[in-house]
Structure 1
């Protein structure tokens, strides 16, 4: 067994996070990751509340040095909720804004980014997001009022996301029960940012909100939420997307 880094409950007081009131309307953001960089075209005009919420975290630097903490093969790649502190080698949870209203306009097809949220509360999305690495419309368009797809990956971005999705996954406990690792540390060596898939930064590169990508299909949302069939398969999206429980102590991990 190999030991995982020590988790901390200390909240990260991100500069400006609680005071951002009117973030710039931006349509294209750049994700810089340890696996490669790619662009996402945001759907400002159709999901304005969700895009405004996402950009507030971007402007506050909330996604810098954050972790891709969950990956489900041929399903989703999830991040945005945990930051790696290189000075302390701890994973910390940032302070979050109030939840954003759900805007399930577009279908959760492959190549879209959507907001994660708590089960049983369709208006509970805050800082966590996920990329759909498959056509998850039959599942996620109907769960919990539908998951809000608010952007489209462009260029070769899906190749990078698919590469992350193909990495071996390890159970590091808590919200990190399906965490992809780029490489595995030697016996007795803790997991650090050298092993995790890191989101180095998310920045605005085009602030013209009218830039229009090829739109995903519209969602046909069932007003009655459909419960997941299997928390470890396509249904894993709703129950595991936003975990706010404590993560403390040194954890042992195993490959899934």
Structure 2
């Protein structure tokens, strides 16, 4: 049996801050299903920090996937719809500036199927800002274009969703709408689309939160990964082994566990997910 274990987050009651033990996990929620992605924090720090800034600020709220090239890429991070009813418009996501290309920083990752990479202006190596794409095929030729397109994450779960975007049959219910550039390859979910039929997506981080309780102990909560074993673990010293506090099947929603421990002055938590 093949399985893959990732650490969602690691927190201490005293510091209350995130420690990077493995790549941050992000969940891309679409109308076609969820895609779970591991970000390469250690190897592409500036790129991941830039991406997380957009996620945490809410800039990707009400975002749409705006470029669909079957057998190549699906792209997002560039546009959103403020309201799906009433007077509608597709507006650009405000950018925070550009990020320096990190293709050759840390380990080098190729633009192969299922990887997440930064989009940018053609011919401008350091022009990446808010837009990203997921490779729908082996696009290794992108590794040598203008310094390489920076791969900063990979899909762990949800390739069935990616495969939907590679299916061009009419029965797949994804259609291409050709609007003015840069929306000439807009994916829609109806042959006669309205704003309701755009390929909406949102991104959330699978992080852990710890809240002390007045009567002692602490509540530990996290956005669980659905239909996978989620293991909440703890330790009082990083030099010691981690112990399982509870194991539960994820629901895709927030799970909260109360840790009754009152003897430890500090306690570290993490969540592991078996893939």
Name the TM-score class by shorter chain. 0.5 to 0.7
Which residue is equivalent to 1:163? Answer: 164
Structure 2: give runs of 5+ residues left out of the alignment: 1-17, 168-173, 209-275
Does the CA-based 8 Å contact 2:175-2:191 persist in structure 1?
A: no
**1:24 Cα shift?**
9.0
Equivalents in 2 of 1:54, 1:68: separation in Å? 16
Tell me if structure 2 keeps the 8 A contact 1:184–1:195. Answer: no
Contact preservation (8 Å) 2:75, 2:134: yes
Aligned partners of 1:109 and 1:171: how far apart in 2?
27
Aligned residues between the structures: 178
The secondary structure found in structure 2 opposite 1:53 is helix
- Alignment of 1:129 onto 2:136: no
Verify: 1:59 aligned to 2:60, yes or no: no
User: Which one scores higher on RCO, CA 8 angstroms, separation ≥ 6?
Assistant: 1
Deviation digits for residues 1-59 of structure 1 (CA, Å, limit 9, x no counterpart): xxxxxxxxxxxxxxxxxxxxxx9966101111111112110000000010000000000
- The residue number in structure 2 matching 1:30 is 27
Matches of 1:89 and 1:62, distance apart in 2: 18
**2: CA distance, partners of 1:24 / 1:124:** 29
Matches within 5 A, 1:6-45: 27-45=24-42
* Aligned counterpart, 2:203: 202
TM-score, structure 2 as length reference = 0.61
* Farther-moved stretch of structure 1 (122-131 vs 160-169): 160-169
1:74 is matched with: 71
For residue 174 of structure 1, report the CA deviation from its aligned partner. Answer: 1.3
Extract unaligned runs of 5+ from structure 1. Answer: 1-22, 208-256
Is 1:120 the counterpart of 2:123? The answer is yes
TM-score w.r.t. length of structure 1: 0.66
Q: Which consecutive segments of 4 or more residues in structure 1 shift more than 3 A?
A: 23-26
